[in-house]
Amino acid sequence: MDVDAAAAQVYGAPLDEFVISRDTLAHQATDRDTAARIRGLRKPTVAAWLVNQLARRYPDQLGTLPELGAEMRAATASRDGRRLRELSAEGRTLVGELTRHARRLADEAGQAASTSAIESLETTLHTAMAHPEAAQVVLAGRLTKPLGHAGFGSADALGRTDPAPARQLAHRSAARPPGDTTVDGPDLAAAREAAQALIEQRVGDHDAAVREVAAARAALSSQRDALDQAIRELDDAESQVQRLQRELAAAQGRATKAQDMRNAAQAAAERAERDVAVAEDELDEASAALTEARAAAAAAASPPPAQPPRGA
């Protein structure tokens, strides 16, 4: 049982079984140095344990984080704001999906996951997306502590159980025989310190970029709020225009109806005027006939003139 095989096994085990699993594997080691190194593997926090489970259960989705990060850096370098917004949205969606997977894995294992643990998990995922070396550590599935924007914590928090990469940066105090890959305590500490310094130097540059992105996101959020307000005002204006159009159509209908009524009234008035004129003519004729009738009646009522006697 070597250190890598032991680490792969214990960091994939349920969190409450970590210590007993680690100690059992250390007891099975073939030499005292390997046993000591296995026994030195640190128990992960809840957030780090969840990241390790994601690395085992959802490696493809987790592996998309550094790919998105590389595309975002390219979009930033080319000042392609539209593409950067698209990639940022994809990144948020991916982190959200992975967080939901982690919650489900915790439920399945009966492992409590506090709000702060979930927040640390999300921070670790965002850091893996933004920083290539952090992504490599996350994908290895051997974290003991969550990663943060301000730094990756101790060398142990990086989950490095194989000190070979750090050895390349450390100073060896003595020559070793060919094929000897063991590292003594001082060399291992120096290698970890060298790796820590290199990582934090790179992360410092990343932190500045993170702050700039945060400021850009804040400005974008403000612009989105203004745009949302403008859209709401436009919707209100369109509603008012539609209401005014309905009122105008109704008013036009009433005006048309009133005009029809006016035309009908005018036609009725003209007919009434013609009827009055006819009535007046008929009245004049009736009046003349009455006068004639009265004259005839008067003439008929008058006695005839006296006749002189005959023979007079």
Instruction: Locate the domains of the chain by residue range.
Output: 44-161, 226-279
Write down the pLDDT at residue 255.
Answer: 78
Exposure string of 247-270, with b = 16+ CB inside 10 Å and e = fewer, is: eeeeeeeeeeeeeeeeeeeeeeee
Q: How far is CA 237 from the centre of its chain?
A: 25
* Mean pLDDT across 213-241: 62
Q: How far apart are CA 219 and CA 197, in angstroms?
A: 33
Q: How far apart are CA 148 and CA 144, in angstroms?
A: 13
Contact 127, 47 (CB under 8 A): no
Q: Where are the beta strands (DSSP E) in the chain?
A: none
Q: How far apart are CA 10 and CA 138, in angstroms?
A: 16
Q: CB-hemisphere CA count at 13 Å for 272?
A: 6
Contact 134, 83 (CB under 8 A): no
Contact 169, 195 (CB under 8 A): yes
* Mean pLDDT across 9-13: 93
Q: Which residue has the tokens 């026994």?
A: 39
Q: How far apart are CA 84 and CA 47, in angstroms?
A: 28
Long-range contacts of 30-33 (CB under 8 A, 24+ apart): 30/1, 33/182
- How many percent of the chain have pLDDT more than 70? 69
Contact 70, 83 (CB under 8 A): no
Nearest-CA neighbor of 38 among 9, 16, 17?
9
Write down the pLDDT at residue 251.
Answer: 82
pLDDT per residue over 68-118, tens digit each? 999 999 999 999 999 999 999 999 999 999 999 999 999 999 999 999 999
Grade residue 16 by pLDDT with cuts at 50, 70 and 90: very high
Q: How far apart are CA 62 and CA 139, in angstroms?
A: 7
Q: How many contiguous H segments (helices) and E segments (strands) does the chain have?
A: 10, 0
Residue 153 scores a pLDDT above 70: no
Contact 52, 141 (CB under 8 A): yes
Q: Which residues contact 88 (CB under 8 A, 6 or more apart)?
A: 72, 217
Tokens at residue 265, please?
């009234």
Q: How far apart are CA 306 and CA 304, in angstroms?
A: 7
More confident residue, 221 or 39: 39
Rg (CA), the chain: 51
Residue type, 283: L
Q: How far is CA 121 from the centre of its chain?
A: 20
pLDDT per residue over 265-307, tens digit each? 888 888 888 888 888 888 888 888 888 888 888 888 877 666 6
Q: Tell me the pLDDT of the chain averaged across its residues.
A: 77
Rounded to a whole number, what is the distance in angstroms from the first to the last CA of the chain? 189
Write down the pLDDT at residue 179.
Answer: 37
Q: Which residues contact 292 (CB under 8 A, 6 or more apart)?
A: none
Write down the pLDDT at residue 275.
Answer: 83
Q: How far apart are CA 125 and CA 145, in angstroms?
A: 13
Residues paired with residue 148 on neighbouring β-strands, in sequence order: 151
Q: Which residues contact 232 (CB under 8 A, 6 or more apart)?
A: none
